[in-house]
């Protein structure tokens, strides 16, 4: 347990689970897991990786493993929703490596041998995952091989098995990282840029042209003579089908009834505040009073003028009016406030803090160090005695840095009023600290304010009334989509449309935690109307499924309008170009051409193929211009937004794109290629991630 405690302490004050190789990024917010699983259907699998089904139970085993690792590293069995999502992502990544990446790497002839693993964990080529691990560093923050050896010796004596679990996790991470580096080198080392290729890249990117041109825009009015047939649409769809691959989604509509407090509920809340007003005004223990009665917790911070406007502008105005100590009852929407000024003082906005962290029974040692710190350099003492080697702001051990009332380590609140340059001792959950405030901003007047707040909440009567409205709508709409639309019109409700809803959706507008709505949608057929779906006890949803889009390729009927539109504009551009060519046939003077076409001549200098997107010009026009001969009228070119006739008036070869730029671009391409290895591999293996069904 001592090793585990060291691991937690040295990781710092705000530790989260370490994911050794961050290659996947999933955003999945937690909800309750479906409790019943029927049969062995793939519908109840968490996913499929490289042809292998991943059952919910198998996935949960990995989730539990990473949960235990997180607990070891944080010392806490409580995880936020963000940590839970991170743990599940780590578990999924672990399975992707296990079932897909490792197999593909081995098939390519790659392996990490036993001798390599020894070198990477205990030898002369220790992995950064070990060398930089807080569990294996000495008192000076340097990697200690003896600490590592001692850790490994302790594995068999740890009855809980947690040390073994953590060590296996480290070894697995090191193995995967090394294998990934080898696999990556297959691409990066083979992507050779020869001197000739480098020279050509530099030359191409340094070529610019000056050009004069006239442009006839396509316009927005539809041309009835341009016709796109159904057979052309179908032919394009068949030859470009890969463009229309899609994930499963649904088109839906929904009506939501929000339960809000009635005016009767609001008046009842005001009455409660009025009943407690005198007790709040007279009590000496405002913290206890607020804990028992207020919806806003006690806050000991001091406020500058204007800062309480985020609570209520009326509260802020009262605090700084200076008339009385306790305000009248202040209403802001459905909330009621009573403010009480507790104290006023001159305080800085921020202070620069240094500390020495001591653990165990260290009261006497802390007092001695506080006295010594008056004459000795604080960073030297921190380097010798502090357990916290991670706090080193401005490159000095012991420096926490600037702190404010809102950016504050719990237990350090007294630094805001401490005397600058005077060491003192304080205790927190992390241990005993020798602290010194070495600098502070200019003090200003601030006030400590206790705020008694009650928010109006809907009564049972209000809930019943809103539920009755939702139930009435659901009953009328229950027979199908047409009945749903008729009910919306009859009752004067607003129906929210959502197209392309995915299975993992749990947010509708500003309403969170609405995964139950998505679950119902994906469990029902088109045309179905739901009953009441309750979300967070404050929203009643009634939803209907308009259309179902299955995973795979979109139907021709779904994408035909978009394809038809694209083909129309391609044909329109060709027709416009042909019309322009006919009008200017035989003409060689650009000014005369502009007059003939009823437009003017424009100029553009420094046009470069290397920076198409930054010049505000049509890419097709740029591509044609940079290779055109000088002083020759060229065109017409059918661009994306218009038809161009142009003349290059000058070529220039600059030196703004250097060899370093070319190498940097090649390096960026390699980096992008490295990032895409696993996503491409997953796409090729048709990996299916169904976690959204369960979380």
Residue 192: the pLDDT is 79
Mean pLDDT to the nearest integer, 347-370:
94
Q: Kindly report which listed range (103-112, 508-517, 653-662) carries the lowest average pLDDT score.
A: 653-662
Percent of the chain surpassing pLDDT 90: 69
Contact 295, 453 (CB under 8 A): yes
DSSP line for 172-183: HHHHHHHHHHHH
Give the distance from CA 291 to its chain's centroid. 35
For the chain, what is the total number of helices (H) and then of strands (E)? 22, 21
Residue 42: the pLDDT is 58
65 Cβ contact list (under 8 Å, min separation 6): 91, 165, 169
Mean pLDDT to the nearest integer, 599-613:
82
pLDDT band (50, 70, 90) for residue 9:
very low
Distance CA 428, CA 413 (A): 11
What is the dihedral sign for C-alpha 551, 556, 562, 566?
positive
pLDDT band (50, 70, 90) for residue 384:
very high
Question: Which two tokens mark 157?
Answer: 């004596």
Long-range contacts of 40-45 (CB under 8 A, 24+ apart): 43/693, 45/690
Mean pLDDT to the nearest integer, 114-132:
88
pLDDT exceeds 70 at position 299: yes
439 Cβ contact list (under 8 Å, min separation 6): 351, 352, 420
Phi and psi torsions of 337, nearest 5°: -125, 145
Residue 195: the pLDDT is 85
Residue 523: the pLDDT is 94
pLDDT exceeds 60 at position 694: yes
Phi and psi torsions of 499, nearest 5°: -105, 145
Residue 154: the pLDDT is 85
Give the distance from CA 224 to its chain's centroid. 47
343 Cβ contact list (under 8 Å, min separation 6): 302, 447, 448
Distance CA 396, CA 383 (A): 9
Residue 37: the pLDDT is 33
pTM: 0.67
The model's pLDDT over 404-423, given as tens digits with 9 standing for 90+, comes to 998 999 999 999 999 999 99
The model's pLDDT over 145-174, given as tens digits with 9 standing for 90+, comes to 888 888 888 888 888 888 899 999 999 999
Mean pLDDT to the nearest integer, 190-197:
82
The model's pLDDT over 85-103, given as tens digits with 9 standing for 90+, comes to 899 999 999 999 999 999 9
Residue 2: the pLDDT is 40
Residue 36: the pLDDT is 33
Question: Which residues is 623 bridged to in the sheet?
Answer: none
Question: Which residues is 444 bridged to in the sheet?
Answer: 347
**CA distances (Å), 469 to each of 388, 464, 475, 476, in order?**
59, 9, 10, 11
Mean pLDDT to the nearest integer, 386-398:
89
Residue 24: the pLDDT is 33
Residue that wins the pLDDT comparison between 625 and 663: 625
Residue 140: the pLDDT is 67
pLDDT band (50, 70, 90) for residue 29:
very low
| Gyration radius of the chain's alpha carbons | 34
pLDDT band (50, 70, 90) for residue 682:
very high
pLDDT band (50, 70, 90) for residue 528:
very high
Residue 14: the pLDDT is 31
pLDDT band (50, 70, 90) for residue 7:
very low
Average pLDDT of the chain, as a whole number: 89
Residue 613: the pLDDT is 54
pLDDT exceeds 90 at position 267: yes
Residue 138: the pLDDT is 72
The model's pLDDT over 575-593, given as tens digits with 9 standing for 90+, comes to 999 999 999 999 999 999 9
DSSP H or E segment with residue 238: helix 230-239
The model's pLDDT over 462-508, given as tens digits with 9 standing for 90+, comes to 999 999 999 999 999 999 999 999 999 999 999 999 999 999 899 99
- 273 burial (CB, 10 Å; 0-12 / 13-18 / 19+) is buried
Q: What is the largest CA-CA distance in the chain?
A: 100
Whether the bond between 636 and the residue before it is cis, its omega within 30 degrees of 0, is yes
Contact 564, 233 (CB under 8 A): yes
Contact 442, 348 (CB under 8 A): yes
pLDDT exceeds 70 at position 565: yes
Distance CA 176, CA 174 (A): 6
pLDDT exceeds 60 at position 16: no
pLDDT band (50, 70, 90) for residue 615:
low
């Amino acid at each position: 347990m001592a090793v585990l405690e060291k691991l937690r302490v040295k990781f710092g004050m705000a530790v989260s689970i370490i994911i050794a190789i961050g290659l996947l990024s999933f955003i999945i917010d937690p909800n309750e897991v479906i409790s019943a699983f029927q049969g062995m259907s793939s519908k109840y699998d968490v996913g499929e990786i490289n042809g292998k089904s991943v059952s919910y139970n198998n996935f949960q085993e990995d989730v539990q493993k990473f949960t235990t690792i997180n607990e070891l590293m944080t010392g806490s069995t409580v995880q936020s929703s963000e940590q839970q999502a991170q743990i599940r992502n780590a578990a999924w990544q672990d399975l992707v490596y296990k079932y897909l990446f490792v197999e593909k790497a081995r098939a390519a002839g790659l392996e990490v041998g036993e001798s390599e693993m020894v070198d990477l964990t205990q030898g002369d080529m220790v992995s950064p995952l070990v060398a930089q691990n807080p569990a294996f560093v000495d008192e000076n923050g340097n990697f200690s091989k003896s600490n590592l050896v001692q850790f490994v010796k302790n594995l068999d004596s740890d009855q809980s098995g947690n040390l073994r679990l953590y060590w296996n996790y480290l070894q697995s991470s090191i193995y995967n990282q090394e294998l990934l580096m080898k696999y990556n080198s297959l691409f990066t080392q083979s992507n050779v840029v020869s001197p000739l290729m480098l020279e050509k890249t530099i030359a191409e990117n340094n070529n610019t042209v000056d050009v004069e041109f006239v442009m006839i825009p396509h316009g927005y009015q539809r041309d009835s003579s341009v016709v796109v047939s159904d057979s052309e649409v179908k032919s394009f769809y068949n030859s470009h089908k890969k463009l229309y691959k899609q994930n499963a989604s649904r088109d839906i509509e929904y009506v939501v009834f929000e339960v809000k407090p009635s005016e009767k509920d609001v008046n009842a809340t005001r009455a409660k505040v009025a009943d407690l007003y005198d007790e709040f005004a007279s009590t000496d223990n405002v913290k206890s009073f607020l804990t028992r009665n207020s919806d806003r917790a006690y806050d000991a911070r001091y406020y500058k003028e204007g800062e309480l406007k985020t609570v209520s502008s009326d509260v802020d105005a009262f605090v700084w009016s200076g008339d009385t100590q306790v305000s009248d009852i202040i209403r802001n929407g459905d909330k009621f406030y009573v403010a009480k000024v507790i104290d006023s003082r001159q305080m800085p906005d921020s202070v620069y803090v240094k500390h020495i962290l001591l653990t165990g029974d260290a009261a006497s040692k802390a007092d001695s160090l506080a006295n010594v710190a008056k004459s000795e350099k604080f960073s030297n003492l921190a380097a010798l005695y502090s357990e916290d080697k991670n706090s080193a702001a401005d490159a000095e051990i012991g420096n926490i840095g600037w702190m404010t009332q809102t950016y504050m380590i719990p237990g350090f609140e007294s630094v805001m009023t401490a005397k600058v340059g005077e060491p003192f001792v304080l205790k927190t959950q992390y241990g005993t600290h020798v602290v010194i405030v070495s600098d502070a901003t200019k003090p200003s007047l601030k006030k400590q304010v206790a705020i008694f707040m009650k928010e109006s909440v809907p009564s049972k009567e209000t809930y019943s009334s809103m539920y009755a409205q939702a139930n009435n709508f659901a009953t009328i709409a229950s027979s199908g989509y047409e009945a749903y639309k008729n009910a919306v019109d009859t009752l004067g409700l607003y129906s929210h449309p959502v197209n392309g809803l995915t299975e993992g959706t749990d947010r509708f507008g500003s309403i969170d935690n609405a995964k139950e709505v998505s679950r119902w949608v994906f469990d029902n057929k088109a045309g179905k109307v739901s009953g009441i779906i309750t979300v967070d006890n404050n929203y009643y949803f009634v939803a209907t499924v308009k259309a179902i889009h299955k995973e795979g390729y979109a139907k021709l009927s779904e994408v035909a309008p978009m394809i038809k539109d694209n083909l129309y504009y391609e044909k329109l551009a060709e027709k416009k170009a042909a019309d322009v060519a006919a009008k200017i046939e035989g003409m060689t003077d650009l000014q005369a051409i502009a007059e003939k076409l009823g437009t003017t001549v424009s100029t553009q200098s420094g046009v470069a193929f290397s920076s198409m997107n930054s010049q505000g010009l049509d890419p097709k026009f740029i591509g044609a211009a940079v290779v055109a001969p000088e002083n020759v009228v060229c065109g017409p070119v059918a661009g994306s937004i218009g038809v161009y006739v142009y003349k290059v008036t000058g070529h220039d070869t600059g030196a703004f794109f250097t060899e370093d730029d070319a190498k940097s671009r090649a390096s960026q391409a390699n980096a992008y290629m490295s990032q895409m290895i696993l996503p491409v591999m997953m796409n090729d293996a048709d990996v299916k991630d169904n976690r959204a069904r369960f979380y």
